[in-house]
Amino acid sequence: MSKIAFVFPGQGSQVVGMGKELADSSEVVHEIFTRADKALEEELSSLIFNGPQDTLTLTVNAQPSLLTTSIAILEKFKEAGITPQYVAGHSLGEYTALVAAGALSFEDAVRTVRKRGEFMEEAVPAGQGTMAAILGMGSDDLQAVTNEISAAGHPVQLANINCPGQIVISGAAEGVKHACELAKEKGAKRAIPLEVSGPFHSSLMEPAAEKLRSELDQIEISDASIPVVANVNATEMTYADQIKENLVKQLYSPVLWENSVQYMLDQGVDTFIEIGPGKVLSGLIKKVNRRVATYAISDLGTLEATIQALKEGQ
């Protein structure tokens, strides 16, 4: 019998029209989009289904939109009686995982990630911070590079440890630029600047983290009914106070995705279901262990095929 983990994508996977086919075909899915509109008192569903893409991609819109779409798809798995042994999400996706595990209500999560997006946008003025993906360099070597650049007065640090050979760095624009140059000098295969609005998962996000703490103080966080593998330490979190602290730290700490996947593999997980648009996480998981089964849900067809395959596997 398969041991299943549900994983939820983060910002960057958003695309106009995501979830529309499912919402049109299922009342239970459509209801999630309606609940998001009510929670935010705006037509978020119209933006998700119709765009425009540049508005959807704004951090304040992308975060609630991705969470809503993923939770809408999750409803079909609940309907089919398929439950995971673990859940995890990449950055923003961690909030989706916490809703899936019953630690956050859907409405509280939608409102909180909208605020989280606002705080992230406000923390660093546009153009002063950025991120870049470094390919073909180990974390220890890249850590030495970022330490050297930071010591020279240009803060930069590891932000997303995604999979072997792919690490994202984040920090002040000058720091990221110099770190990219030095990483390539020291053997990195490529350094790719990312189209992001700020230096996420870096110490420059600490002001946003304090504002987020105030928001989290105002909502009910419950113990998780399913173990949630946390970004900040790649181990299980189930208790409410632990969840809250980890969500605050997550804003300025690296996302330990490779380690999180390895943790779940070590617990016997052999099947990963990516619930949300795109296939980013499935690709990263395959780079950690290419033999593991992965499914990415992008439309009605892949949803139905995945549920059928899982039922047959049981």
**Integer Cα distance of 55 and 30 in angstroms:** 22
Active site residue: 26, 90, 201, 282, which one?
A: 201
Residue 76 tokens, joined: 């079909």
Q: Is 191 helix (H, G, I), strand (E, B) or coil?
A: strand
Enclosing H/E stretch for 159 = strand 156-163
**Integer Cα distance of 190 and 7 in angstroms:** 27
**Integer Cα distance of 241 and 31 in angstroms:** 30
Q: What angle do CA 222, 262, 12 make, to 5 degrees?
A: 70
Query: For helices 59-79 and 27-40, what crossing angle results, to 10°?
Result: 150
Nearest residue to 114 (alpha-carbon basis) of 215, 46, 260: 215
Q: CB of 241 within 8 A of CB of 227? A: no
Residue 98 tokens, joined: 């916490």
Active site residue: 26, 70, 91, 253, which one?
A: 91
Partners of 39 in beta bridges:
none
Whether 201 sits among the annotated catalytic residues: the reply is yes
Q: Which residues are catalytic?
A: 91, 201
